[in-house]
Structure 1
Amino acid sequence: MTTPEPITHARVLRIAVPIVLANMTVPLQGVADTAVIGQIPDATPLAAVAVGAALLSTLLWVFGFLRMGTAGMTAQAHGAGNRAEVAALLTRALMIGGAGGLLLIPLMGPIADLGFAYSPATDDVKSLARDYMDIRILSAPAAVAIFGINGWLGAQERTRAMLVLQIWIVSLNVALNLLFVVGWDLGVPGLAWATVCADWTGFALGLWLCRGAFANPAWRDWPRVFDRARLRVMAMVNSDILLRSLMLEAVLLSFIFYYSAGFGVAVLAASHVLLHFIQIMAYALDGFAFAAEAMVGQAFGARALDRLRRAVWLTSLWGFLSNFAFALAFALLGGLIIDGMTKDPEVQQAARRFLPWIVLAPVLGLPAWMLDGIFIGATRTRDMRNMMAISVGIYFVAATLLIPLWGPHGMWAALMIAFIARGVTLGLRYPSLERAMQ
C-alpha cells in the first residue's frame, strides 16, 4: 500500500472537471436531437421525440444502478489496494450491462404500449414516438454496458478517459443527426439511427479504454468473478440503487409523460426543452458528486474518517459554486437557449413562462445530488432507497394538491419540492454514514 494522495482542491478539480465536461455532453446529445427536429415548424415531431426519449431514458436509466454500484464498490476496492477485485468488478459490470440491455429489446414493445395507454398525447405523437423507440432500443446493450464502464473508470479517477468516451459518442451523434435528418431527410427515425451508431461505437471505444484491466488475469478468474459472497453484496447494492432509480424515473416520467402531456402539445414540448436545462446542470454537478463517490469510497475502503469528512466538504463546496454559476447562466441566457432549441412560437412562449423554475433548480437540487454521490461512495444504498421512497411520496402529494391550484406551474413546484425532500431526508441520514466507519 502506498501513502494515500492528499485530498485537496486541485485533486477535486482534477477528478471533477473532466467529468463535468463529459457529463455535459450527455444531455447535449438530446439537445442535438431537439435542435435538429425543432427546426421543423410543427410541434408534433418535437413532442414525439419528447415522449419517445422520455420513455427510453427511463428504461435505460433504470440500469443507472450499474454505474453507481460499480463506482462505489470499485472505489472501495481501489482504496483497499485490491487490484484483483477491481479487475473482476469490470467483468461483472460488463456481463450485467450486456444481459440487461438485451433484455430490454423484447420488453420495449409491451412497456411502450402500457405507457402510451396512460398518456394523453395525440395519436400522431404516439405513432412517431413508437417509430423512434423501435429503432433506438437496438443500442440498449451498448448503452447499459457503458454505464458500468464509466463507473469503473471514474472510481479510479480516470476521468479523462470518460471525457474522451463521451465526446466521441456525442460528436458522432451530432454529425449523424445532421447527415441523416438534414442531409438525407430521414426525420425522426434518422435521429434514432444516429444514436444507435454512436452508442455501439462508443462501447467499442470504452473497452479499449479499459484495456489495462484485461492485462490482469483476475478479470477472467471465474471463481472470483462468480464468488457468491461478492455477488451477494453486488446484488444488494445494485438492487437498492435500482429501486431508487425506478422511483426517481417515476417522478421524471410522470412529469413529462402524464402531467405535461395533459396540458397540450405546446406545454409538453416546452417541458421537454426545459428538462434539458436540468439535465445539463445535473450532469455537470455530477462531476463533483462523482469526485465524492471516488474519494468517499476510497476513504471507506481505507477506513479513514478524516479523509471522508474532507472529501465531503471540498466536493460540496465546489458543487455549490458550480450550481450558482448555472443558476446565473439560466437567468441571463435561458431565453436565448430556448429560442435556439425550438422555432415554434407557442413552445417558445410556454418555455419562457416556466423558465424561473429552472433558475431555482440548481440551488434547490444541490443537496440531493451531492448527497447521492456521498452515499454511493459509501455504498449506503439502503438509505438512498428509503429516502427516495419518502421523497417520491411527497412529490405526488404536492402534484395532486398544487396542479389544480396553479396549473402547469403546480407541476413545476412539485418537482422542486421533490428535490428539496431528497436533500433533507438524505441529510438526516448522514450521521449514520459516519458511524458506519467507526
Structure 2
Amino acid sequence: MSIHAPDQHPYLRAPRRTLLAMTLPVLVSLIAEPLTGLADTAFVARLGTEHLAALGVGTMVLTSAFWVFSFLGVGTQTELANCLGAQDRHRASMVLTASLVLALGLGILSALLAWAFVEPAARAMGGEGEMLAMAVDYMRHRLIGAPAVLLTLSCFGALRGLQMMRAPLFIAAGLNALNILLDWMLIFGFGPFPALGISGAAIATTISQWFGALWAVLLVHRHIGIARQVRPADLRKLIVIGGDLFVRTAMVLTFLLLATRVATSAGAQSGAAHQAIRQFFFFTALFLDAFAITGQSLIGYFMGRGTTLHARHVAATVCLWSTGTGLLMAAGMLLFQRPIAWLLVPAEASSTFAQAWLIAAALQPVNALSFATDGIHWGTGDFRYLRNSMIISALCGMAVLFMPPAHSGLSALSWIWIATGVWTALRATLGIVRIWPGVGSAPLRPDA
C-alpha cells in the first residue's frame, strides 16, 4: 500500500492533471464493464429472437439484483481511502478482509435464495414457453458466478480506495476478452466443446467472472494483505453502510420504474422514445460517475489525513469539472439530436422524442452536479445524509410525475422528464448545501 506524505500527494501539486489522470482509467473501466452483456447479446442474437428475448429477461433480472450490492464497492472504497490517508496499513487489511468475507457470504446466500425465484421473476418479466425455459436456465448458470461478482465489487472498491485506478481497468479488459473467446467456443461449439446455445453464454460469463474475481483478490492481497481474522466492528460498519445505500438504491429504482411505467402507459410511441432517452442518459452517467468515483477516493484520502481544507478543494474541483462535462454533454445532445433520433427511435415516435430530448439535454449540468456531490459525500462517509436526501428528492419527483398540469401543451413524455428534472435538481441542491455552507453536522464544514 503506497503512502504519500501529507504535502506530497500529486493532487496538491497539480489538481486538475491529477483528477483527470485518475478519472480517465475509471471511465474506461466503467465502459468496459457492460461489454460482457454486449458480447453475450451479439453472439446470442445469431441464435434467434427467442434466445435473445430470453437473454434480455435474464440480464435485466440479474443486473437489478446485483445492483443492490453496490454498497460493497462504495463502502470499501471510502474505508480504504481513509486508511491510505491515515497510513494505517493494519486497519486497511482488516477492512478489506471484512469486505471480502461479507461479499463471499452474501454472494453464496443470494445465489441459494434466488435459485428458487428465477422462474417467477422471469414470468413477471413476460417470459413464457420456450423463452421462459431458456431465461431460467441462463439465470441459474449465471447465479453460480454471484459470489465472484460481489468479490470483484469489493476488490474494485479497495483498489480505487488505494487510488490504483488502472488495476480495475486491466481486470475488466481481461475479463471481457476471456468472455468473448468463451462465448464463441461455448455458444456455437468449437473442437471438443459442444454447442450449448444460451446456456453457453451464461457459462462463459460465469467462468470469466470467476477469473476476474480471483485476479482481483490476488491483487488486493498483494498490495494490502488479507488478515487471518475478521473484526465484527468492521462487518457491522459495512452492513450499516449497506442498509443506507440499499434504501437509496431502492428509491432510485422505484422512481425509474415508475417513470418507465408512466411512459409506457402513455402509448407505444412514448414508451419507445423514453427508452431511447433513458438509455442515452445512462450512458452519459458513466462519464459523471467516473468523476464521482475519483472524487470519492481523493476526499476519503484527505479526510483520513485530517486535512478538511484539502478535501473541500477536491470537492470544488470535482463539482467544477463535472459541471463542465455536463455542459459539453448538453451541447452534444443538442448538436446530434437528429442522428441519435434516426439511430434509436422509430420514425412514428420522433415527434414525441424531440421535445423530451431537449428537456433531458438541459438537465445534464444539473445531473452532473448530483453525481459529483454523491461522490463527495461517499468520500466523507456521509451515507445516511445521502439516503435521506434521496428519499426526499425521489418522493418529490414521484409527486410531480403523477400530477401533470392540464392544458400545459406538454406531452406525457416531456412531463416525465420534467419530473426527472425535479428529482435531479433536488438531489444536486441537497448535495451542494451539505458542502456549502454545510448544513447540519456536515463532515466538510471548515469547523468540523
Which residue in 2 is equivalent to 1:95? Answer: 101
Query: Which among 16, 20, 29 is matched to residue 13 of structure 1?
Result: 20
1:136-285 mapped onto 2 (5 Å cutoff): 136-177=142-183, 188-213=198-223, 216=225, 219-222=226-229, 225-226=230-231, 228-255=232-259, 258-259=261-262, 274-285=277-288
Which residue in 2 is equivalent to 1:52? Answer: 58
Q: Is the 8 A contact 1:18 1:163 kept in 2?
A: yes
Deviations along 1:35-73, one digit per CA (max 9) or x if unpaired, are 55567895x766654443332222101110111111111
Which residue in 2 is equivalent to 1:319? Answer: 322
CA distance in structure 2 between the partners assigned to 1:326 and 1:56 by the alignment: 30
Q: Is the 8 A contact 2:98 2:234 kept in 1?
A: no
- Given the two structures, how large is their TM-score scaled by the length of structure 1? 0.82
Q: Is the 8 A contact 2:270 2:353 kept in 1?
A: no
The structure with the largest alpha-carbon Rg is 2
Indicate how the Cα distance of structure 1 residues 380 and 365 shifts in structure 2: closer, same or farther if over 3 A, else same. same
Quote how far apart the aligned CAs of 1:233 are: 3.1
Query: Which among 75, 80, 84 is matched to residue 81 of structure 2?
Result: 75
CA distance in structure 2 between the partners assigned to 1:338 and 1:180 by the alignment: 36
Q: Is the 8 A contact 1:300 1:437 kept in 2?
A: no
> Which range moves more in the overlay, 355-364 or 316-325?
355-364
Query: Which among 368, 375, 398 is matched to residue 377 of structure 2?
Result: 375
List alignment gaps of at least 5 residues for structure 2.
Answer: none
Q: Is the 8 A contact 2:298 2:379 kept in 1?
A: yes
> Which range moves more in the overlay, 287-296 or 319-328?
319-328
Indicate the structure whose relative CO is greater, using CA pairs within 8 Å and at least 6 residues apart.
1
Indicate how the Cα distance of structure 1 residues 351 and 301 shifts in structure 2: closer, same or farther if over 3 A, else same. farther
Greater helix proportion: 1
CA distance in structure 2 between the partners assigned to 1:51 and 1:268 by the alignment: 18
Q: Does 1:29 align with 2:39?
A: no
Quote how far apart the aligned CAs of 1:133 are: 2.7
Identical-pair percentage: 24
Quote how far apart the aligned CAs of 1:358 are: 5.2
CA distance in structure 2 between the partners assigned to 1:203 and 1:347 by the alignment: 45
Residue 220 of structure 1 aligns to a residue in which SS? Answer: coil
Residue 144 of structure 1 aligns to a residue in which SS? Answer: helix
Deviations along 1:166-188, one digit per CA (max 9) or x if unpaired, are 21223333444555557788665
Indicate how the Cα distance of structure 1 residues 158 and 271 shifts in structure 2: closer, same or farther if over 3 A, else same. same
Q: Is the 8 A contact 2:270 2:412 kept in 1?
A: no
RMSD: 3.7
How many residues align? The count is: 427
CA distance in structure 1 between the partners assigned to 2:348 and 2:220 by the alignment: 43
- Given the two structures, how large is their TM-score scaled by the length of structure 2? 0.81
List alignment gaps of at least 5 residues for structure 1.
Answer: none
> Which range moves more in the overlay, 349-358 or 125-134?
349-358
> Which range moves more in the overlay, 315-324 or 283-292?
315-324
For residue 25 of structure 1, what is the amino acid of its counterpart?
A
Query: Which among 289, 298, 301 is matched to residue 301 of structure 2?
Result: 298
Deviations along 1:334-371, one digit per CA (max 9) or x if unpaired, are 7656877x8x9679969966654654453331111111
